[in-house]
Chain A
Amino acid sequence: MLPMISVSDLHKHYRVHNRPPGVMAALKSLVHRDYKEVRAVDGITFSVEPGERVGFLGPNGAGKTTTLKVLSGLLHPTRGQVRVGGFTPKDRRDAFLSTITLVMGQKQQLMWDLPPSETFELNRGIYDISRSRFNETIAELSSWLELGSLVSKPTRQLSLGERMKCELAAALIHRPSVLFLDEPTIGLDVSMQSTIRAFIKQYNERYGATLILTSHYMDDVTALCPRVVVVDRGKLSYDGGLEELVTRIRPEKRVMLRLDRDVDASAWEGFGKVVSTEGRSVVLQVPNEQASAIITRALDAFPVEDLTIENAPLEEVMSELFSRSRAAAEEGDT
């Protein structure tokens, strides 16, 4: 089976005007300008199978949004091959644009002064959707997102979360098979984030849609993306399963124990690394392969009331990965 998305040696470079601070420099720049090349995306390769949900991660300025914009045909690559659903995105053919959607958490397409239902109606015209199919899609999206009467209130009267729900509905009215979601949960409260996540998963399962998601909330990634592609400074630093990433970067488990009495911190010597102790609770970090042996010993040695075992938090894993890839890049430079 052909991949739905294939990216091969993608580069996107910008030429930006480089100006030192100060009035003199500003005046000088009127006559002569120095330019420098910014490599927003610097040779990344990956592919995504139909129906896959992939998390596209990286720190700010890593090249995530630029890549999504190249994939959706908004930016022309400087170099490299990009195919989405059999099309070359930069040609921006109608047949291609009808199969994709782009949701940006920080920008909105809903008409500000009119109810969302009017944006839906406008998109129905643009995507040339029959009335019956439109009604069917709207009914389905409304029930999943619990839109109810929201669609008939002017957009400017909706809360951020309500707007994002309507924004998603507007972006999916044509039932796209490829979704590019750029921080769709940004700024939302925890319960709204979870509603949006559940909805995205439901849409993916119902329509077999392929999706690439960028987010700084690791809960989004954990809930939605079995696979992650990590970029940093325009380069790919990891592509694979989320579980494998965690075990590769932090091959340790977090063991959280609650005891029925206080125990001195020194008593935990020989039980792995003590991350924290607080009253009757202690958090240990132990190598994966020794986890069961250490836990058995701890249960024998201490009056344990409660026990939890977890992987290291994804945030820590990511920051560790970024610092490692930067160190490797700097080593390569010298």
Chain B
Amino acid sequence: MLRYATLLYVQIRASLLLALQYRWDFVIDGAISVLWAVTALVPLTVAFGERASIAGWTFGEALLVLGWFTLLQGILEGAINPSLVGVVEHIRRGTLDFVLIKPADSQFLVSTARFLPWRATNAVTAAAVFVYAFRRIGHGPSIQGVAAALVLFATAVLLLYSLWILTVSAAFYVVKVDNLTYLFGAVFDAARWPSSIFKGALRLVFTFVIPLALMTTFPAQALLDRLSLPTLAGAIAGALLFAGAARFVWLQSIRKYTSASS
């Protein structure tokens, strides 16, 4: 365990050095991060401009969903996406060989290979959104609400990561999965809205197939003390199930890996 903590430190250090290697990239990356976080606010402001509530959510409450979305988007784009897009490149160029001959878990090594430190600005923006949301609502969250929301946030990260591992594992079979990753990005964008906005089949898909509801709406509901204990337990179980499936598929894919010819 300690060894993997050290490894994580070494990998993060390399990413930080990489981010600092080029001064202008560093500045531009930072500016883009802030811009992205701010633009995430625009659609919500437009939608609530004319009405007080949508699908049972007031503007202040919906901002909580957006807060979680901003935070998760930062994690997706800063910690999950860069490493796993690297896997696709590794598979295409045959350099995954170098990862697989290392005496450490291959899933861990590829998952921690690259971080974009500037995406941490999303966390600052998310914090600002949360503060503003509770000012609109008129009162702060309860302690239990915050605790449940943090647990759900952890399961959301696990879920997001597992979905990415499943997406990337497809690269072992079809090699070019760029389109799949774009599609994933587009679908994930729907998580900025409370899940009750979606009706019928979409709602089912976003709850069970690509559980966007679990990622942003559930933590927001937890902060509002509206989430039942069975839903919380179900969300944890669901995330663990996805993580298990992702691990299984990854191991199967590695077995099948035949590497590019020299």
List A residues at the B interface (Cβ < 8 Å). 14, 65, 69, 72-76, 92, 94-98, 100-102, 104, 106-109, 111, 113-114, 118, 121-128, 154, 182-183
Which B209-262 residues have C-beta < 8 A from chain A? 255, 257-259, 261-262
3 closest Cβ contacts across the A-B interface?
A125-B10, A94-B103, A97-B103
Is B11 engaged at the interface, CB distance under 8 Å to the other chain? yes
Nearest A residue (CB) for B257: A74
Question: Is there a chain A Cβ closer than 8 Å to B104's Cβ?
Answer: yes
Contact: A65 with B95, CB < 8 Å?
A: no
Cβ contact within 8 Å between A75 and B258: yes
A-B contact count (CB 8 A): 79
Q: Given the complex, which residues of A lie within 8 Å of B100, measured CB to CB?
A: 73-74, 92
CB distance from A92 to the nearest CB of B (A): 7
- A residues in contact with B18, CB < 8 Å: 111, 113-114
Would you list which residues of chain B between 48 and 87 have a CB under 8 Å from chain A?
none
**Chain B interface size range:** 20 to 34
Chain B residues within an 8 Å CB radius of A107: 93-95, 97-98, 262
Interface SS, B side = helix
**Is B21 a contact of A126 with CB atoms below 8 Å?**
no
Whether A118 contacts B93 by the Cβ 8 Å rule is no
Minimal Cβ-Cβ distance residue in A for B261:
A65
Which residue of A69, A76, A124, A126 contacts B104 across the interface (Cβ within 8 Å)? A126
Contact B262–A182 (Cβ < 8 Å): yes
CB pairs A–B below 8 angstroms (21 shown): A65-B261, A65-B262, A72-B101, A73-B101, A74-B259, A75-B259, A76-B255, A92-B100, A94-B103, A102-B97, A102-B98, A104-B262, A107-B93, A111-B14, A113-B22, A114-B14, A114-B21, A122-B11, A122-B14, A123-B102, A126-B103
Interface residues of B (CB under 8 A from A): 3, 6-7, 9-11, 13-14, 17-18, 21-22, 93-95, 97-98, 100-104, 109, 255, 257-259, 261-262
Q: Cβ of B259: which chain A residues have Cβ within 8 Å of it?
A: 69, 74-75
Main secondary structure of the interface of A (DSSP, over half): mixed
Determine whether the beta carbon of A98 is less than 8 Å from that of B103: yes
